[in-house]
Structure 1
Amino acid sequence: MAKGPTLTQRAQRNVYLALLVDTRLNAGLTQDALAVAAGVSQPDVSQVEAGKVRRDVVQLQDWLSARGSTLARFSRALERGLAK
């Protein structure tokens, strides 16, 4: 029987998802504006930010670029968030 994510994994995922949303909001973007900039649909943005759909690192880099950020900057912020 497959186990679900541990409490720690869920907490880490929540930090990641919150950072995704914060990065978009700090860039002054709505989900619609991010969708246009990243070449995806608004429901796609919503599903990713809600944790219903995952993106690979290449797609994440494209999203971050559309937000005016970088993978390196996001990774540093994620590390800081996970260390709390």
Structure 2
Amino acid sequence: MIVRAQIVDLDALWKTVVAAMAAGVGITLAFSVALLGWVRATDSTRERPGLATAAWAAVCVIGLLALAAAVVVGLIVMTDK
């Protein structure tokens, strides 16, 4: 019989790993959406400015707002005790 002491709380460790992975994917996705909107808005402006340019600019703004929200949530989580 092997005696095993629980030194590490595996449940808390698992939750931390999952949260870190979700945050990493979410922040990367938000930045990618912002970058896509910016590049497409710039290309649309060169070809034919109009509604498409405004729509891609809105996509860029939405991506930047999501990125800013992720940073704020991260700061709140880090400073919360």
Provide the TM-score with structure 1 as the length reference.
Answer: 0.34
**More helix per residue:** 2
Provide the TM-score with structure 2 as the length reference.
Answer: 0.35
Q: Which has the larger radius of gyration?
A: 2
